[in-house]
Amino acid sequence: MQYRTLGKTGLNVSEIGYGGGRVRPEHDEISLVNMLHHAMDSGLNYFDTAPDYGGGYSETIIGKAIAGRRKSCIVATKTEAYDPDGIAIDVEGSLQRLGTDYIDVLQFHGGWFYAEDTERILNGGGLAAYLKLKQEGKVRFIGFSADGPSGGIEQFIATGEFDMMQIHYNLMYQSTCDAFGRRGIIPDAVAQEMGIVLMRSTTSNAFQNLMKHCFPNEMADVDVDSFLLNYSLSNPMVNVALMSLQRIDDVDWTNAVSDNVDARLDLQAIHGR
């Protein structure tokens, strides 16, 4: 496993992070916890979840997995609420399910952050509530997760208060960062020394499904997942690529992609023609 620094947080993060977004109550608890222990033993230290994922089950599973190993784990969760009262309720619930007394990274769960969301966060007490939690020591760093660029995100970045951003970027979706790292909200956030965590690092299966549809016979032997993950890791502005790891085998192949540093692509050469 290779490591990167998560922007101004200074945290030394594994470049593959666990994404708990696809965990559902019908998924077996013991298999998931065993898989997460194998991931930790293989060097993974970043875990992303949310109160909303599996109705709290995702946080509960991560809580069971980090028990006894809390100090070496970086736990990122979110609030579904953007108002102070709702944020307090969400955070207390997360702390309980995660079995911890602090959250490493707390993110406003987006979305696209429409005008009313942005208003609630910036002027309705949402950001102030996050900063208070940071001051109290319940939360170490703050950020937001977003599916794409919006005026709201530009305003969040401009405050200079956020430590990180979780954002959509991959081979298919490039509007958050040009190949030269000069235009887009990823370079804007990096200019504020924010850490960059990727959701949909391997296109949430959209590219794979498209390829299988177009080339049903040819794709059987092609390792598209490794190619896509390597593509995302080839962007030097990216600190963590989240993956919804499900099986021990997922831990092993993603680790192999991380360690195969000689395979990184020159994105400027590819896109700059």
Interacting positions 161-200 with ligand NAP (CB under 6 A): 166, 199-200
Q: Which of 60, 145, 232, 239 binds ligand NAP (CB under 6 A)?
A: 145
Regarding 48 and contact with ligand NAP (CB under 6 A), the answer is yes
Q: Which of 20, 54, 56, 63 binds ligand NAP (CB under 6 A)?
A: 20
Q: Which of 11, 13, 21, 165 binds ligand NAP (CB under 6 A)?
A: 21
Active site residue ranges: 53
Q: Which helix (H) or strand (E) holds 65?
A: helix 57-66
Give least dist CB 52 to ligand NAP, A: 9
Chain centroid offset of residue 106 CA: 11
Regarding 238 and contact with ligand NAP (CB under 6 A), the answer is no
Residue 6 one-letter amino acid = L
Give least dist CB 251 to ligand NAP, A: 12
**Closest CB to ligand NAP among residues 175, 268:** 175
**232 vs 198: CA distance, rounded Å:** 8
- Under DSSP, is residue 57 helix (H, G, I), strand (E, B) or coil? helix
Regarding 244 and contact with ligand NAP (CB under 6 A), the answer is yes
φ/ψ of residue 64, rounded to 5: -70, -35
**Closest CB to ligand NAP among residues 47, 190:** 47
Give least dist CB 245 to ligand NAP, A: 7
Closest by Cα among 250, 233, 188 to 14? 233
Residue listed under structure tokens 């947080």:
9
Give least dist CB 199 to ligand NAP, A: 4
CB-CB neighbours of 114 under 10 Å = 12
Q: Which of 75, 238, 242, 251 binds ligand NAP (CB under 6 A)?
A: 242
Q: Which two tokens stand for residue 207?
A: 């590219």
Distances, alpha carbon 80 to alpha carbons 8, 22, 74, 207, in Å: 25, 16, 20, 29
**Closest CB to ligand NAP among residues 89, 210:** 210
Give least dist CB 50 to ligand NAP, A: 6
**147 vs 84: CA distance, rounded Å:** 23
Interacting positions 58-117 with ligand NAP (CB under 6 A): 109-110
Q: Which helix (H) or strand (E) holds 117?
A: helix 115-122
Total residues contacting ligand NAP by CB under 6 A comes to 19
Q: Which of 14, 150, 201, 232 binds ligand NAP (CB under 6 A)?
A: 201
Radius of gyration of the chain (CA): 18
φ/ψ of residue 255, rounded to 5: -65, -40
Closest by Cα among 2, 19, 3 to 258? 2
Regarding 24 and contact with ligand NAP (CB under 6 A), the answer is no
Regarding 2 and contact with ligand NAP (CB under 6 A), the answer is no
Give least dist CB 106 to ligand NAP, A: 12
Contacting positions for ligand NAP (CB under 6 A)? 19-22, 48, 109-110, 145, 147, 166, 199-202, 204-205, 242-244
